[in-house]
Amino acid sequence: MFKHVGLRLLQLVLMLIVLSLVTFVLMKMAPGDPVLAVLKADERPVTEANQQVVRQALGLDKPLYQQYGSWLLQVARFDMGRSYTTNQDVWQLLMERLPATVSLMFSSMLALLVFAVPLGLLAAVYCGRSVDHASRMIALLGASIPSFWLGLLLIYLFSYRLNWLPMMGGGSLYHLILPSVTLGFVMAPEYIRLLRSGLLEGLSQEYIRAARARGIREWRVTAIYAMRPALLPIVSLLGVSMGALIAGSVVTETLFGWPGLGSMAMEAITQRNYPVIQGYILLTGLGIGLANWLSDVGLLLLDPKIRHEKGMSA
Partner 1 sequence: MFGHNVSLLRSSGTLLAILCCIMVLTSCSGNAQLAHTNKDEEKLITIVHSLPNESLDPHNEWIALRAGITETLLRLDENMQVNPWLAVKWEAKDDLTWQFTIRDGVTFQDGTKLDAAAAKASFERGITDSKALAAALKIQHMEANGQVLTFTTTESHPAFPTELVHPTTSLISVAAEQKMGKAAFNKAPVGTGPFQVNAFISGQEISLSRFDGYWDGKAKLSKVKFLFNADANVRTMAFQSKHADIVYHLAPEALGTIGQDAELAVQSVTSLRTHYFTYNPKSASVSDLFVRKAIDKLIDRDTIVKEIMLGHAHPANGPFYSSLPFGNKGGYTKFSPEEALKLLERAGYKKNGNGKLEKNGAVLQLKLIAFSGINPELPLIPLLLQSDAAKIGMDIQILSVEYPDVYIKDHTDWDLSTSSYLTSPRGDGASFLTAAYVPGGSYNPANIHVAQLDPILKALHATGDVQTRNQLTQQAVQVINETNVNSFIIHPNILVGINQRVLNWKPGAEEFYIVSNQMDVR
Give the binding site for partner 1 (CB under 8 A). Answer: 31-33, 36, 38-48, 50-51, 53-54, 57, 83, 85-89, 92-93, 96-97, 100, 114, 118, 121-122, 125-126, 152, 155-156, 159-160, 162-171, 174, 177, 217-219, 222, 254-259, 263-264, 267
CA distance 117 to 133: 16
**Whole-number minimum distance, CB 36 to partner 1, in Å?**
6
- The number of CA neighbours under 13 Å toward the Cβ of 63 is 3
CA distance 75 to 10: 17
**Whole-number minimum distance, CB 177 to partner 1, in Å?**
7
Nearest to 287 by CA among 237, 248, 252: 248
- The residue (of 239 and 280) whose beta carbon lies closer to partner 1 is 280
**Whole-number minimum distance, CB 189 to partner 1, in Å?**
19
- The residue (of 126 and 293) whose beta carbon lies closer to partner 1 is 126
**Whole-number minimum distance, CB 313 to partner 1, in Å?**
35
**Whole-number minimum distance, CB 34 to partner 1, in Å?**
11
What 3-state DSSP class applies to 34? helix
- The residue (of 27 and 294) whose beta carbon lies closer to partner 1 is 27
Q: Are 104 and 151 in contact (CB under 8 A)?
A: no
CA distance 228 to 234: 10
Give the torsion through C-alpha atoms of 168, 267, 96, 283, to 10 deg. Answer: 130
- The residue (of 44 and 77) whose beta carbon lies closer to partner 1 is 44
Which neighbouring-strand residues pair with 82?
A: 89
Q: Are 229 and 252 in contact (CB under 8 A)?
A: no
- The residue (of 61 and 96) whose beta carbon lies closer to partner 1 is 96
CA distance 24 to 16: 12
The b-or-e profile of 24-58 (16+ CB within 10 A means b, else e) is beebeeeeeebbebbbeeeeeebeeeebeebbeeb
CA distance 59 to 26: 18
The b-or-e profile of 175-184 (16+ CB within 10 A means b, else e) is bbbbbbbbbb
- The residue (of 83 and 284) whose beta carbon lies closer to partner 1 is 83
- The residue (of 53 and 294) whose beta carbon lies closer to partner 1 is 53
CA distance 232 to 78: 37
- The residue (of 57 and 64) whose beta carbon lies closer to partner 1 is 57
**Whole-number minimum distance, CB 116 to partner 1, in Å?**
13
**Whole-number minimum distance, CB 152 to partner 1, in Å?**
6
**Whole-number minimum distance, CB 109 to partner 1, in Å?**
17
Q: How far is CA 68 from the centre of its chain?
A: 27
Type of residue numbered 23: T
